[in-house]
Amino acid sequence: MRLDYSTTFIAGIAEACNPILACETRSENALAAVNPVQCYGAQIRRKVFKRILQIKDEYEKAVNDQRASCDDGQYHNRFASRESGSGMTIPACVLLMMCMQGGDIHNELINSRLFHPSSVPSVSSYCHVRDKIPLDIIEDFFHWVVEEYYWTDPSMNLSEALHIMAVDGSELQYPPNPSEPDNYVKTRSQTKARNCVHMNCCVDTTRNFVVDIIIQDAHKKDERDANYTFIKRIASRFSNPDVRRSYLFTTDRGYEAWNLPVIADHYGVSFLCRIKSEDSNGILVGLKDLLPCGRNSFDRTITLRLTRDPSKKGKPGYHYLAPSTYCELCTKDHDYDITLRILKIRISDKLTEYLFTNLPKYKYDKQCMVRFYHRRWPCETSFEVVKFTLCLSATHAASNVPVRKEIFCRFAMFDLSSTLFNKLNVLEKKEDTGRKYDYVQDISSAMADIRAYFLSSLDYDIDTVVRRITRPDRENEPTERNKNPRHPTSFGHRMG
């Protein structure tokens, strides 16, 4: 059944979910009397639409709170809206930020099919509504998605042996804007410039779900601090030390620091970090005397007392930290005892990697460490999917705050899609199908269908559509990595 267009999106988004929701004065009894399509994708869309409709109420509450906090005669509504005759509403704007592709704003408004062709809102009305929504409301929407479909999901098994959380960062560029010095970056030749923000993500690699995001300005980015924040936020959710220890944070060389094992030990979580070689300027430089020499692999557990006291430098069992070395819990008046496990792994005759962790040797051998670190890869692919499949790299804003709003909305869309993938769990074994390879879900293609489903005014079984989209699983085949760079896409015509 195809539903009619609506002149305002509050009716349009409601009709896409259920015809009864088109009435502003809808009742729960009437809502319960309607039988929507019984599929998991429809349930997700229905619940998300209800949450998006609540954003308008949160906006109005923010306006009233600001009015109440100001004296009479001095009130200035920074969220104020011009008379709404354009048909663009706050819920429509949020859904568009979730589902926009790489076209300019006018074409995106037309192709979304959320509005009647004769009353498509103007570009300026979209930008105005987008700019007046407070950033914290959009951020709360993303955290609602995480809370609803990750932390409180009934399928979330806290008794799993390990929850592998991959932490990494990526840069998002948008058109140059010199009025934002914290994000304005010039090239070495000083001939070109760009603006960018740094996205730090914490991804559950088992479920391919982005659990948390921290967005930093280009000139103020600190990936290590973001990692410590992720550890503190997740550890604060659990009082059971066994559950805390089951969360394994995996990081690459950029996160190597003495503060990492200290923070992980203090908050009771596990960590696994790839570090620089002993010939570089990393942690291993000061530990050469405690580790085996030569080309052979090793797996060594050492116990140290970190100290800031210069008089203890060189004493057995002590490791001196210079004043320039950042470590939160190791001060001049307080030493910190730490147990580390350091591994040297020979990948080939020419390639050697070093890892350090606090996972016990008796429980997880060297092969487990390699396998755990290899499972960081979904964190890399999640950035690729969000940037290029969900078109985040083609931003439709030229300033910091609107770009951050788009980031939170696109990652919310990514998590909703991953939730549906995890529920369907499509896997076609080659033994059952007679094919050469196993077939798994094609996430990139399926996300395009899910995005179209969120914008559609049709009720259909999206689960069946997603199940049909598969690809051969060739992960075990040795292939060389494609090192051709993908240049960022930023054109001013997308802003209006």
The residue among 363, 362, 379, 369 whose CA lies nearest residue 414 is: 379
Buried b (16+ CB within 10 A) or exposed e, 204-213: bbebbbbbbb
Report the pLDDT value the prediction gives residue 75, as an integer from 0 to 100.
Answer: 42
Round to whole Å and give the CA distance between 83 and 60. 15
Is the CB of residue 330 less than 8 Å from the CB of residue 337?
no
Rounded Cα distance, 318 and 306, in Å: 6
**pLDDT at res. 141:** 95
Q: Return all residues near 231 (Cβ < 8 A) that are at least 6 apart.
A: 249, 263, 264, 267, 269, 271
The phi and psi torsions of 27 (rounded to 5 degrees) equal: -115, 150
Q: Are 12 and 456 in contact (CB under 8 A)?
A: no
What is the full DSSP assignment across 59-109? HHHHHHHHHHHS-TT----TT------S---HHHHHHHHHH--SS-HHHHH
**pLDDT computed for residue 446 by the predictor:** 85
Residues of the chain below pLDDT 50: 1-37, 72-85
Which H helix or E strand runs over 339?
strand 336-346
From CA 246, how far away is CA 365, in angstroms rounded? 16
pLDDT of residue 492: 54
Write down the pLDDT at residue 19.
33
Q: Model-level pTM?
A: 0.84
Characterize the bridge pairing of strands 247-251 and 163-174.
parallel
φ and ψ at residue 249, rounded to 5 degrees:
-95, 115
Tokens of 492: 């001013």
Three-state secondary structure of 221-261: CCHHHHHHHHHHHHHCCCCCHHHHHCEEEEECHHHCCCHHH
**Quick one: pLDDT at residue 9?**
42
Place of tokens 């429980």: 363
- Residue 289 has a pLDDT of 82
Token pair in block for residue 397: 């804003």
CA dist 24 and 115 (Å) reads 18
DSSP 8-state secondary structure symbol assigned to residue 169: E
Residue listed under structure tokens 């109005």: 60
Confidence at residue 31, expressed as pLDDT on a 0 to 100 scale: 30
pLDDT of residue 6: 37
Question: Which pLDDT value is given to residue 157?
Answer: 65
Q: How far apart are the first and last CA of the chain?
A: 34
> In whole angstroms, what is the distance from residue 462 CA to residue 469 CA?
11
Q: Do strands 298-307 and 270-275 pair parallel, antiparallel, or not at all (unpaired)? A: unpaired
